[in-house]
Amino acid sequence: MPVSPEKQSTLSTVEILSQGMVINVGPQHPSTHGVLRLILTLDGEQILHCEPVIGYLHRGLEKMMERRPYRHNIPFTDRLDYLAALSNNLGICQCIERLGGVEVPERAKYIRVLLMELQRIASHLVFLGTFGTDLGATTMFLYAFRERELVLDLLEECTGARLTYNWIRVGGVPDDLPDGFAEKVLAFVKVFRQRLKEYDQLLTRNRIFRSRTQNIGVLPKDLALAYGTSGPVLRASGVAYDIRKVDPYEVYDRVEFDVPVFDRGDVWARYLVRMEEMHQSLRIIEQVLRDMPDGPVQTKLPKIFKPPAGIAYSRVESPRGELSFMMVSDGSPNPVRVHIRAPSFVNLSVLPCLLEGAKVADLVAILGSIDVVLGEIDR
Amino acid sequence: MTYFIDGLATLFFGMLVTWRNLWRPKVTVRYPYQKRPVPPRYRGLFYLKWNEEKQRLNCVGCTLCAQACPTDVISMVKLGKGTNASVSEFTMDLGRCMFCNLCVEACPFDAIYMGPVYELASERRDACLFRITDLAQGGEEAVRKNIETIQRLMAEEEKAKPAATHPAGGHAE
Ligand code: SF4
Ligand code: SF4
Protein backbone atom coordinates (compact mmCIF):
# COMPACT_ATOMS: atom_id res chain seq x y z
CA MET A 1 0.00 0.00 0.00
CA PRO A 2 1.60 3.33 -0.98
CA VAL A 3 2.21 5.73 1.87
CA SER A 4 0.33 8.98 1.52
CA PRO A 5 2.35 12.23 1.49
CA GLU A 6 0.96 13.28 4.91
CA LYS A 7 1.90 9.94 6.41
CA GLN A 8 5.37 10.09 4.94
CA SER A 9 6.20 13.35 6.68
CA THR A 10 5.21 11.89 10.04
CA LEU A 11 7.38 8.78 9.87
CA SER A 12 9.31 8.40 13.10
CA THR A 13 13.08 8.27 13.17
CA VAL A 14 12.98 4.58 13.81
CA GLU A 15 10.87 3.99 10.75
CA ILE A 16 13.17 6.06 8.57
CA LEU A 17 16.21 4.34 9.95
CA SER A 18 14.66 0.96 9.40
CA GLN A 19 14.77 1.67 5.72
CA GLY A 20 18.55 1.30 5.81
CA MET A 21 20.34 -1.99 6.05
CA VAL A 22 21.31 -3.03 9.55
CA ILE A 23 24.51 -4.97 10.06
CA ASN A 24 26.38 -6.08 13.12
CA VAL A 25 30.08 -5.54 13.57
CA GLY A 26 31.39 -7.63 16.40
CA PRO A 27 31.34 -8.65 19.20
CA GLN A 28 33.93 -11.01 17.75
CA HIS A 29 35.61 -8.86 15.16
CA PRO A 30 39.35 -8.34 14.88
CA SER A 31 39.06 -4.59 14.35
CA THR A 32 36.95 -3.83 17.39
CA HIS A 33 39.90 -4.58 19.69
CA GLY A 34 37.89 -6.58 22.14
CA VAL A 35 34.29 -7.53 22.52
CA LEU A 36 32.57 -4.45 21.23
CA ARG A 37 29.49 -4.77 19.10
CA LEU A 38 28.44 -2.02 16.73
CA ILE A 39 24.98 -2.04 15.20
CA LEU A 40 25.30 -0.08 12.00
CA THR A 41 22.49 1.19 9.83
CA LEU A 42 23.79 1.60 6.33
CA ASP A 43 22.64 3.34 3.24
CA GLY A 44 24.86 1.77 0.65
CA GLU A 45 28.39 2.64 1.71
CA GLN A 46 27.36 5.31 4.14
CA ILE A 47 26.76 4.82 7.83
CA LEU A 48 23.48 6.44 8.85
CA HIS A 49 23.49 5.44 12.43
CA CYS A 50 25.73 3.57 14.81
CA GLU A 51 24.89 2.07 18.13
CA PRO A 52 27.72 0.65 20.20
CA VAL A 53 26.73 -2.22 22.48
CA ILE A 54 29.01 -2.83 25.42
CA GLY A 55 28.95 -5.00 28.51
CA TYR A 56 30.23 -8.33 27.19
CA LEU A 57 33.18 -8.15 29.55
CA HIS A 58 31.37 -6.88 32.61
CA ARG A 59 32.77 -8.29 35.82
CA GLY A 60 31.24 -6.03 38.45
CA LEU A 61 34.65 -4.77 39.44
CA GLU A 62 33.46 -1.82 41.48
CA LYS A 63 31.26 -4.06 43.59
CA MET A 64 34.04 -6.60 43.97
CA MET A 65 36.29 -3.86 45.28
CA GLU A 66 33.79 -2.82 47.90
CA ARG A 67 33.92 -6.28 49.41
CA ARG A 68 37.67 -6.47 49.85
CA PRO A 69 40.27 -4.63 51.93
CA TYR A 70 41.89 -1.68 50.20
CA ARG A 71 45.16 -3.26 49.27
CA HIS A 72 43.58 -6.39 47.87
CA ASN A 73 42.06 -4.29 45.14
CA ILE A 74 45.29 -3.27 43.46
CA PRO A 75 45.72 -6.44 41.36
CA PHE A 76 42.14 -6.14 40.10
CA THR A 77 42.93 -2.82 38.46
CA ASP A 78 45.42 -4.63 36.23
CA ARG A 79 42.41 -6.08 34.49
CA LEU A 80 40.85 -2.72 33.70
CA ASP A 81 43.02 -1.29 31.01
CA TYR A 82 45.17 -4.32 30.39
CA LEU A 83 47.47 -2.50 28.02
CA ALA A 84 48.42 0.03 30.67
CA ALA A 85 48.13 -1.90 33.91
CA LEU A 86 50.62 0.27 35.75
CA SER A 87 48.60 3.43 35.16
CA ASN A 88 45.61 1.77 36.75
CA ASN A 89 47.70 0.59 39.69
CA LEU A 90 48.92 4.12 40.19
CA GLY A 91 45.40 5.52 39.96
CA ILE A 92 44.01 3.36 42.73
CA CYS A 93 47.10 3.66 44.91
CA GLN A 94 47.02 7.43 44.70
CA CYS A 95 43.40 7.40 45.69
CA ILE A 96 44.02 5.19 48.71
CA GLU A 97 47.02 7.32 49.68
CA ARG A 98 44.89 10.44 49.63
CA LEU A 99 42.23 8.70 51.66
CA GLY A 100 44.66 7.56 54.31
CA GLY A 101 47.04 10.53 54.15
CA VAL A 102 50.01 8.30 53.26
CA GLU A 103 53.29 9.94 52.28
CA VAL A 104 55.25 8.47 49.39
CA PRO A 105 59.08 8.56 49.48
CA GLU A 106 60.80 10.67 46.83
CA ARG A 107 62.55 7.81 45.10
CA ALA A 108 59.31 5.87 44.79
CA LYS A 109 57.74 8.85 43.04
CA TYR A 110 60.49 8.92 40.47
CA ILE A 111 60.28 5.18 39.93
CA ARG A 112 56.55 5.49 39.43
CA VAL A 113 56.94 8.17 36.79
CA LEU A 114 59.61 6.14 35.03
CA LEU A 115 57.38 3.06 34.91
CA MET A 116 54.40 5.14 33.87
CA GLU A 117 56.17 6.53 30.83
CA LEU A 118 57.52 3.13 29.81
CA GLN A 119 53.97 1.90 30.08
CA ARG A 120 52.71 4.76 27.93
CA ILE A 121 55.18 3.85 25.21
CA ALA A 122 54.16 0.19 25.35
CA SER A 123 50.51 1.10 25.13
CA HIS A 124 50.95 3.54 22.25
CA LEU A 125 52.96 0.93 20.41
CA VAL A 126 50.03 -1.44 20.60
CA PHE A 127 47.88 1.33 19.19
CA LEU A 128 50.37 1.94 16.43
CA GLY A 129 50.65 -1.71 15.52
CA THR A 130 46.96 -2.50 15.52
CA PHE A 131 46.06 0.75 13.83
CA GLY A 132 48.56 -0.09 11.12
CA THR A 133 47.07 -3.54 10.58
CA ASP A 134 43.57 -2.12 10.52
CA LEU A 135 44.60 0.13 7.66
CA GLY A 136 46.49 -2.60 5.88
CA ALA A 137 50.04 -1.79 6.97
CA THR A 138 50.92 -5.17 8.44
CA THR A 139 54.62 -4.36 8.53
CA MET A 140 53.92 -1.68 11.09
CA PHE A 141 52.33 -4.26 13.34
CA LEU A 142 55.45 -6.39 13.34
CA TYR A 143 57.82 -3.49 13.91
CA ALA A 144 55.73 -1.91 16.64
CA PHE A 145 55.38 -5.17 18.50
CA ARG A 146 59.08 -5.84 18.17
CA GLU A 147 59.83 -2.59 19.97
CA ARG A 148 57.07 -3.19 22.46
CA GLU A 149 58.84 -6.40 23.33
CA LEU A 150 61.86 -4.33 24.39
CA VAL A 151 59.69 -2.29 26.75
CA LEU A 152 58.00 -5.40 28.08
CA ASP A 153 61.39 -6.98 28.72
CA LEU A 154 62.37 -3.95 30.77
CA LEU A 155 59.12 -3.98 32.70
CA GLU A 156 59.37 -7.72 33.18
CA GLU A 157 62.81 -7.38 34.63
CA CYS A 158 61.63 -4.74 37.06
CA THR A 159 58.19 -6.05 38.00
CA GLY A 160 58.31 -9.77 37.22
CA ALA A 161 55.28 -9.83 34.95
CA ARG A 162 54.64 -8.94 31.35
CA LEU A 163 51.07 -7.73 31.28
CA THR A 164 49.49 -7.61 34.72
CA TYR A 165 52.31 -5.92 36.55
CA ASN A 166 50.72 -5.04 39.88
CA TRP A 167 53.86 -3.17 40.88
CA ILE A 168 52.57 -0.04 42.61
CA ARG A 169 51.69 -0.26 46.28
CA VAL A 170 50.02 2.05 48.72
CA GLY A 171 52.92 4.14 50.01
CA GLY A 172 55.41 3.51 47.24
CA VAL A 173 56.58 0.62 45.11
CA PRO A 174 57.33 -2.86 46.48
CA ASP A 175 60.98 -3.00 45.56
CA ASP A 176 63.79 -0.91 44.20
CA LEU A 177 64.80 -1.04 40.56
CA PRO A 178 67.01 -4.02 39.70
CA ASP A 179 70.75 -3.50 39.26
CA GLY A 180 71.75 -1.91 36.00
CA PHE A 181 68.18 -1.04 35.10
CA ALA A 182 68.92 2.61 34.36
CA GLU A 183 71.58 1.72 31.80
CA LYS A 184 69.24 -0.69 30.08
CA VAL A 185 66.51 1.91 29.91
CA LEU A 186 68.89 4.48 28.46
CA ALA A 187 70.05 1.99 25.86
CA PHE A 188 66.42 1.39 24.96
CA VAL A 189 65.77 5.14 24.69
CA LYS A 190 68.62 5.43 22.24
CA VAL A 191 67.39 2.57 20.07
CA PHE A 192 63.80 3.67 20.24
CA ARG A 193 64.52 7.26 19.11
CA GLN A 194 65.93 5.83 15.93
CA ARG A 195 63.03 3.42 15.50
CA LEU A 196 60.54 6.27 15.86
CA LYS A 197 62.20 7.89 12.88
CA GLU A 198 61.66 4.70 10.95
CA TYR A 199 57.99 4.67 11.86
CA ASP A 200 57.75 8.18 10.52
CA GLN A 201 59.29 7.08 7.26
CA LEU A 202 57.06 4.07 7.08
CA LEU A 203 53.71 5.54 8.09
CA THR A 204 53.74 9.30 8.57
CA ARG A 205 55.28 9.80 5.13
CA ASN A 206 53.07 7.21 3.57
CA ARG A 207 50.78 8.64 0.91
CA ILE A 208 48.17 5.91 1.22
CA PHE A 209 48.15 6.10 4.99
CA ARG A 210 47.72 9.86 4.84
CA SER A 211 44.85 9.62 2.40
CA ARG A 212 43.12 7.11 4.57
CA THR A 213 43.41 9.15 7.74
CA GLN A 214 43.34 12.83 6.83
CA ASN A 215 39.96 14.55 7.16
CA ILE A 216 38.35 11.32 8.29
CA GLY A 217 36.30 11.18 11.46
CA VAL A 218 36.67 14.84 12.33
CA LEU A 219 35.81 15.61 15.92
CA PRO A 220 35.21 19.33 16.41
CA LYS A 221 36.56 21.00 19.53
CA ASP A 222 33.18 21.85 21.07
CA LEU A 223 31.87 18.33 20.56
CA ALA A 224 35.00 16.84 22.11
CA LEU A 225 34.53 19.07 25.13
CA ALA A 226 30.80 18.46 25.35
CA TYR A 227 31.29 14.71 25.45
CA GLY A 228 33.99 14.98 28.08
CA THR A 229 36.63 13.14 26.06
CA SER A 230 40.19 13.19 27.32
CA GLY A 231 43.65 12.10 26.42
CA PRO A 232 44.91 12.00 22.82
CA VAL A 233 41.37 12.23 21.46
CA LEU A 234 40.85 15.60 23.13
CA ARG A 235 44.31 16.91 22.37
CA ALA A 236 43.91 16.06 18.70
CA SER A 237 40.88 18.36 18.67
CA GLY A 238 42.88 21.36 19.78
CA VAL A 239 42.50 21.36 23.56
CA ALA A 240 45.74 21.36 25.52
CA TYR A 241 44.50 19.32 28.44
CA ASP A 242 46.82 16.86 30.07
CA ILE A 243 46.45 15.85 33.71
CA ARG A 244 50.21 15.68 33.98
CA LYS A 245 50.25 19.46 33.39
CA VAL A 246 46.91 20.65 34.77
CA ASP A 247 46.96 18.67 37.97
CA PRO A 248 50.50 17.34 38.33
CA TYR A 249 50.89 14.21 40.39
CA GLU A 250 54.06 12.46 41.55
CA VAL A 251 56.96 14.41 40.04
CA TYR A 252 55.46 15.54 36.76
CA ASP A 253 55.78 19.18 37.86
CA ARG A 254 59.55 18.72 38.07
CA VAL A 255 60.14 17.31 34.60
CA GLU A 256 60.02 19.21 31.37
CA PHE A 257 57.87 17.99 28.52
CA ASP A 258 55.49 19.37 25.94
CA VAL A 259 51.90 18.43 25.45
CA PRO A 260 51.33 17.83 21.74
CA VAL A 261 48.16 19.50 20.45
CA PHE A 262 46.72 19.42 16.95
CA ASP A 263 43.73 21.36 15.66
CA ARG A 264 42.53 19.13 12.86
CA GLY A 265 40.58 16.71 15.06
CA ASP A 266 40.73 13.92 12.51
CA VAL A 267 42.15 10.42 12.65
CA TRP A 268 45.48 11.72 11.38
CA ALA A 269 45.77 14.21 14.24
CA ARG A 270 45.03 11.51 16.81
CA TYR A 271 47.77 9.39 15.30
CA LEU A 272 50.23 12.31 15.37
CA VAL A 273 49.44 13.12 19.00
CA ARG A 274 50.33 9.60 20.04
CA MET A 275 53.51 9.56 17.98
CA GLU A 276 54.61 12.82 19.54
CA GLU A 277 53.71 11.61 23.01
CA MET A 278 56.16 8.77 22.63
CA HIS A 279 58.92 11.30 21.92
CA GLN A 280 57.91 13.24 25.01
CA SER A 281 57.84 10.08 27.12
CA LEU A 282 61.43 9.41 26.13
CA ARG A 283 62.34 12.92 27.26
CA ILE A 284 60.65 12.37 30.62
CA ILE A 285 62.39 9.03 31.08
CA GLU A 286 65.80 10.59 30.56
CA GLN A 287 65.14 13.39 33.02
CA VAL A 288 63.72 11.05 35.63
CA LEU A 289 66.72 8.75 35.41
CA ARG A 290 69.03 11.74 35.74
CA ASP A 291 67.31 13.25 38.77
CA MET A 292 66.35 10.12 40.66
CA PRO A 293 67.46 10.41 44.30
CA ASP A 294 68.47 7.51 46.53
CA GLY A 295 66.44 6.43 49.49
CA PRO A 296 63.64 4.16 50.61
CA VAL A 297 60.93 3.17 48.18
CA GLN A 298 58.07 2.26 50.47
CA THR A 299 56.38 3.70 53.53
CA LYS A 300 55.63 1.12 56.19
CA LEU A 301 51.94 0.77 56.83
CA PRO A 302 50.02 -1.22 59.44
CA LYS A 303 48.96 -4.76 58.50
CA ILE A 304 45.30 -3.87 58.58
CA PHE A 305 45.00 -0.57 56.83
CA LYS A 306 42.03 1.52 57.98
CA PRO A 307 41.87 4.99 56.50
CA PRO A 308 39.77 7.59 58.35
CA ALA A 309 36.21 8.13 57.18
CA GLY A 310 36.03 10.40 54.17
CA ILE A 311 36.04 10.58 50.44
CA ALA A 312 38.98 10.78 48.06
CA TYR A 313 39.30 11.41 44.37
CA SER A 314 42.42 11.13 42.33
CA ARG A 315 43.16 11.22 38.65
CA VAL A 316 46.05 10.20 36.45
CA GLU A 317 46.77 10.59 32.77
CA SER A 318 46.64 7.04 31.46
CA PRO A 319 47.66 6.47 27.81
CA ARG A 320 43.99 6.68 26.92
CA GLY A 321 43.06 9.77 28.87
CA GLU A 322 41.88 10.87 32.25
CA LEU A 323 41.58 7.86 34.52
CA SER A 324 40.19 8.63 37.93
CA PHE A 325 39.20 6.73 41.01
CA MET A 326 36.83 7.76 43.73
CA MET A 327 36.69 5.95 47.03
CA VAL A 328 34.51 6.47 50.05
CA SER A 329 35.65 5.20 53.42
CA ASP A 330 33.75 4.84 56.66
CA GLY A 331 36.78 3.89 58.73
CA SER A 332 36.44 0.14 58.18
CA PRO A 333 39.05 -1.96 56.33
CA ASN A 334 36.89 -2.10 53.19
CA PRO A 335 35.85 0.83 51.02
CA VAL A 336 32.15 1.65 51.07
CA ARG A 337 32.00 2.81 47.51
CA VAL A 338 34.44 2.72 44.62
CA HIS A 339 33.90 4.44 41.34
CA ILE A 340 36.16 4.35 38.32
CA ARG A 341 36.06 6.86 35.52
CA ALA A 342 37.40 4.94 32.59
CA PRO A 343 38.72 7.15 29.78
CA SER A 344 37.89 4.62 27.05
CA PHE A 345 34.26 4.56 28.09
CA VAL A 346 33.89 8.31 27.72
CA ASN A 347 35.91 8.42 24.52
CA LEU A 348 33.82 5.67 23.01
CA SER A 349 30.67 7.73 23.51
CA VAL A 350 31.67 10.07 20.68
CA LEU A 351 31.90 7.18 18.24
CA PRO A 352 28.28 7.41 16.98
CA CYS A 353 28.82 11.11 16.18
CA LEU A 354 32.05 10.41 14.33
CA LEU A 355 30.59 7.53 12.37
CA GLU A 356 27.44 9.30 11.23
CA GLY A 357 27.89 9.93 7.54
CA ALA A 358 31.22 8.14 7.35
CA LYS A 359 31.99 5.35 4.92
CA VAL A 360 32.02 1.76 6.14
CA ALA A 361 35.62 1.41 5.05
CA ASP A 362 36.60 4.21 7.43
CA LEU A 363 34.97 2.51 10.38
CA VAL A 364 38.07 0.65 11.45
CA ALA A 365 40.25 3.74 11.04
CA ILE A 366 37.97 5.85 13.22
CA LEU A 367 37.46 3.18 15.85
CA GLY A 368 41.16 2.40 15.88
CA SER A 369 42.07 6.05 16.33
CA ILE A 370 39.98 6.34 19.48
CA ASP A 371 42.02 3.44 20.86
CA VAL A 372 39.53 1.87 23.23
CA VAL A 373 40.25 -0.98 25.60
CA LEU A 374 37.17 -3.00 26.37
CA GLY A 375 38.39 -4.26 29.72
CA GLU A 376 38.13 -0.74 30.96
CA ILE A 377 34.82 0.11 29.34
CA ASP A 378 32.94 -2.84 30.77
CA ARG A 379 34.90 -3.24 34.04
CA MET B 1 51.08 14.46 -10.35
CA THR B 2 52.18 15.37 -6.82
CA TYR B 3 50.18 12.41 -5.72
CA PHE B 4 52.23 10.22 -8.00
CA ILE B 5 55.56 11.60 -6.80
CA ASP B 6 54.42 11.27 -3.22
CA GLY B 7 53.50 7.69 -3.89
CA LEU B 8 56.95 6.98 -5.28
CA ALA B 9 58.55 8.61 -2.27
CA THR B 10 56.40 6.42 -0.04
CA LEU B 11 57.62 3.36 -1.83
CA PHE B 12 61.22 4.48 -1.65
CA PHE B 13 61.26 5.30 2.04
CA GLY B 14 59.23 2.23 2.92
CA MET B 15 61.69 0.03 1.08
CA LEU B 16 64.59 1.84 2.73
CA VAL B 17 63.24 0.88 6.14
CA THR B 18 62.71 -2.68 4.97
CA TRP B 19 66.24 -2.81 3.60
CA ARG B 20 67.68 -1.59 6.87
CA ASN B 21 65.68 -4.13 8.82
CA LEU B 22 66.88 -6.89 6.58
CA TRP B 23 70.29 -6.68 8.21
CA ARG B 24 69.17 -6.53 11.80
CA PRO B 25 69.52 -9.68 13.88
CA LYS B 26 66.33 -11.63 14.15
CA VAL B 27 64.28 -11.18 17.29
CA THR B 28 62.12 -14.27 17.31
CA VAL B 29 62.84 -17.62 18.97
CA ARG B 30 61.40 -20.99 18.03
CA TYR B 31 59.43 -21.23 21.19
CA PRO B 32 58.79 -24.80 22.24
CA TYR B 33 62.33 -25.79 21.27
CA GLN B 34 64.08 -22.62 22.28
CA LYS B 35 63.25 -20.58 25.33
CA ARG B 36 64.20 -17.12 26.36
CA PRO B 37 65.89 -16.58 29.71
CA VAL B 38 63.60 -15.55 32.53
CA PRO B 39 64.60 -12.59 34.73
CA PRO B 40 65.18 -13.29 38.43
CA ARG B 41 62.09 -11.40 39.51
CA TYR B 42 59.80 -13.36 37.24
CA ARG B 43 56.53 -14.35 38.88
CA GLY B 44 55.87 -17.96 37.93
CA LEU B 45 55.01 -21.11 39.86
CA PHE B 46 55.37 -20.87 43.62
CA TYR B 47 57.78 -22.79 45.78
CA LEU B 48 58.14 -23.16 49.52
CA LYS B 49 61.67 -22.55 50.58
CA TRP B 50 63.65 -25.42 52.08
CA ASN B 51 66.01 -24.51 54.89
CA GLU B 52 68.98 -26.84 54.58
CA GLU B 53 70.56 -25.78 57.85
CA LYS B 54 67.52 -26.46 60.00
CA GLN B 55 66.30 -29.34 57.80
CA ARG B 56 62.81 -27.87 57.53
CA LEU B 57 60.64 -25.62 55.44
CA ASN B 58 60.80 -21.98 56.34
CA CYS B 59 57.02 -21.78 56.56
CA VAL B 60 55.58 -21.62 60.08
CA GLY B 61 51.92 -21.85 59.07
CA CYS B 62 51.00 -18.36 60.22
CA THR B 63 48.36 -17.95 57.44
CA LEU B 64 49.45 -14.37 56.74
CA CYS B 65 49.85 -15.19 53.06
CA ALA B 66 46.35 -16.67 52.95
CA GLN B 67 44.98 -13.50 54.51
CA ALA B 68 46.83 -11.32 52.03
CA CYS B 69 45.46 -13.17 49.04
CA PRO B 70 42.52 -11.39 47.39
CA THR B 71 41.14 -14.56 45.82
CA ASP B 72 41.51 -17.19 48.58
CA VAL B 73 43.99 -19.35 46.75
CA ILE B 74 45.92 -20.66 49.74
CA SER B 75 44.79 -23.11 52.37
CA MET B 76 46.99 -24.94 54.86
CA VAL B 77 47.02 -27.32 57.78
CA LYS B 78 49.30 -26.31 60.59
CA LEU B 79 51.67 -28.76 62.19
CA GLY B 80 52.91 -28.20 65.72
CA LYS B 81 52.72 -24.94 67.57
CA GLY B 82 54.78 -22.00 68.74
CA THR B 83 58.18 -21.37 67.20
CA ASN B 84 58.49 -24.96 66.03
CA ALA B 85 55.37 -24.94 63.90
CA SER B 86 55.24 -25.72 60.21
CA VAL B 87 52.67 -26.99 57.75
CA SER B 88 51.66 -30.54 56.92
CA GLU B 89 49.38 -29.44 54.09
CA PHE B 90 49.74 -26.37 51.93
CA THR B 91 47.39 -26.26 48.97
CA MET B 92 47.18 -23.61 46.29
CA ASP B 93 44.38 -23.57 43.76
CA LEU B 94 46.25 -21.84 40.98
CA GLY B 95 43.14 -21.80 38.82
CA ARG B 96 42.15 -18.78 40.86
CA CYS B 97 45.58 -17.25 41.32
CA MET B 98 46.48 -14.08 39.44
CA PHE B 99 50.20 -14.17 40.27
CA CYS B 100 50.02 -10.81 41.95
CA ASN B 101 52.86 -11.32 44.43
CA LEU B 102 50.86 -10.05 47.43
CA CYS B 103 51.24 -13.34 49.31
CA VAL B 104 55.01 -13.34 48.81
CA GLU B 105 55.28 -9.82 50.15
CA ALA B 106 53.10 -10.67 53.14
CA CYS B 107 55.24 -13.58 54.33
CA PRO B 108 57.47 -12.49 57.23
CA PHE B 109 59.61 -15.67 57.15
CA ASP B 110 60.76 -15.69 53.52
CA ALA B 111 58.99 -19.00 53.13
CA ILE B 112 57.08 -18.60 49.88
CA TYR B 113 58.53 -17.46 46.59
CA MET B 114 57.62 -17.35 42.95
CA GLY B 115 59.89 -19.21 40.59
CA PRO B 116 60.67 -19.14 36.89
CA VAL B 117 58.28 -21.91 35.77
CA TYR B 118 55.53 -20.53 33.56
CA GLU B 119 54.21 -23.46 31.55
CA LEU B 120 51.31 -24.30 33.80
CA ALA B 121 48.56 -24.96 31.29
CA SER B 122 46.77 -28.25 31.61
CA GLU B 123 43.85 -30.14 30.15
CA ARG B 124 42.62 -31.27 33.52
CA ARG B 125 41.07 -29.10 36.12
CA ASP B 126 42.66 -30.78 39.12
CA ALA B 127 46.10 -30.06 37.71
CA CYS B 128 45.55 -26.48 38.89
CA LEU B 129 45.60 -27.72 42.46
CA PHE B 130 49.15 -27.67 43.76
CA ARG B 131 49.78 -29.55 47.00
CA ILE B 132 52.66 -29.17 49.39
CA THR B 133 54.58 -31.95 47.67
CA ASP B 134 54.46 -30.02 44.39
CA LEU B 135 55.33 -26.71 45.98
CA ALA B 136 58.08 -27.56 48.46
CA GLN B 137 61.63 -27.20 47.27
CA GLY B 138 62.90 -30.76 47.18
CA GLY B 139 59.48 -32.32 46.68
CA GLU B 140 58.13 -35.24 48.70
CA GLU B 141 61.37 -35.96 50.41
CA ALA B 142 61.56 -32.42 51.77
CA VAL B 143 58.00 -32.65 53.06
CA ARG B 144 58.77 -35.93 54.82
CA LYS B 145 61.94 -34.56 56.37
CA ASN B 146 60.12 -31.40 57.37
CA ILE B 147 57.49 -33.38 59.27
CA GLU B 148 60.19 -35.48 60.94
CA THR B 149 62.11 -32.42 62.04
CA ILE B 150 59.04 -30.71 63.42
CA GLN B 151 57.96 -33.84 65.30
CA ARG B 152 61.40 -34.19 66.75
CA LEU B 153 61.46 -30.56 67.82
CA MET B 154 58.01 -30.88 69.34
CA ALA B 155 59.05 -33.95 71.26
CA GLU B 156 62.13 -32.17 72.58
CA GLU B 157 60.03 -29.27 73.66
CA GLU B 158 57.56 -31.55 75.36
CA LYS B 159 60.36 -33.28 77.20
CA ALA B 160 61.81 -30.01 78.42
CA LYS B 161 58.45 -28.61 79.44
CA PRO B 162 56.63 -30.99 81.88
CA ALA B 163 59.25 -30.53 84.57
CA ALA B 164 58.53 -26.83 84.70
CA THR B 165 54.77 -26.66 84.07
CA HIS B 166 51.68 -28.52 85.29
CA PRO B 167 51.60 -32.19 84.37
CA ALA B 168 47.96 -31.86 83.24
CA GLY B 169 48.90 -29.56 80.34
CA GLY B 170 50.56 -31.51 77.54
CA HIS B 171 50.41 -35.07 76.13
CA ALA B 172 46.79 -34.81 75.15
CA GLU B 173 47.62 -35.12 71.48
S1 SF4 C 1 49.86 -14.43 43.81
FE2 SF4 C 1 48.10 -13.23 44.48
S3 SF4 C 1 46.32 -14.44 43.87
FE4 SF4 C 1 48.10 -15.82 43.78
S5 SF4 C 1 48.15 -16.82 45.77
FE6 SF4 C 1 49.48 -15.02 45.93
S7 SF4 C 1 48.15 -13.38 46.71
FE8 SF4 C 1 46.81 -15.03 45.98
S1 SF4 D 1 54.20 -19.05 53.62
FE2 SF4 D 1 54.88 -17.42 55.00
S3 SF4 D 1 53.02 -16.22 55.40
FE4 SF4 D 1 52.36 -18.16 54.52
S5 SF4 D 1 51.94 -19.44 56.30
FE6 SF4 D 1 54.05 -19.87 55.70
S7 SF4 D 1 55.29 -18.48 56.92
FE8 SF4 D 1 53.18 -17.72 57.03
Q: Is the ipTM of this complex over 0.90?
A: no
Structural domain of residue A19, as residue ranges? 5-53
DSSP A340-371: EE-HHHHHHTTHHHHHTT-BGGGHHHHHHHH-
Same domain, A44 and A66: no
In this prediction, residues B129-152 reach a mean pLDDT of: 81
Same domain, A91 and A180: yes
Domain B55-160: which CATH class?
alpha beta
Segment A333-365, tens digit of pLDDT: 888 888 888 888 888 888 888 888 888 888 888
Same domain, A49 and A114: no
Distance (angstroms) between ligand 2 centre and the Cα of A62 equals 30
Same domain, A65 and A46: no
pLDDT at position A54 is: 85
| Overall number of domains in chain A | 2
Secondary structure of B55-111 in HEC code, one letter for each residue: CEECCCCCCHHHHHCCCCCEEEEEECCHHHCEEEEEEEECCCCCCCCHHHHHCCCCC
pLDDT at position B97 is: 87
Ligand 2 is surrounded, with C-beta below 6 A, by B 59-65, 106-107, 109, 111-112
Which CATH number belongs to the domain containing residue A157 in this structure? 1.10.645.10
pLDDT at position A100 is: 83
**Is any Cβ of chain B less than 8 angstroms from the Cβ of A198?**
yes
For A205, the closest of B9, B42, B102 (CB atoms) is: B9
pLDDT at position B121 is: 84
B140: Cβ contacts below 8 Å, ≥ 6 apart: B133
For A207, the closest of B10, B18, B101 (CB atoms) is: B10
Angle at A92 between CA A87 and CA A94, to 5 degrees: 90
Domain ranges of chain B: 55-160
In chain B, the percentage of residues whose pLDDT exceeds 70 is 92
Low-confidence ranges of chain A (pLDDT < 70): 1-19, 31-32
pLDDT band at B170 (very low <50, low <70, confident <90, very high): very low
Residue of B12, B102, B107, B113 to mutate for A, most A C-beta atoms under 10 A: B102
- What pTM did the predictor assign? 0.85
A166: Cβ contacts below 8 Å, ≥ 6 apart: A74, A75, A78, A85, A89, A159, B98, B100, B101, B102
**Is any Cβ of chain B less than 8 angstroms from the Cβ of A127?**
no
Segment A231-290, tens digit of pLDDT: 888 888 888 888 888 888 888 888 888 888 888 888 888 888 998 998 899 989 988 888
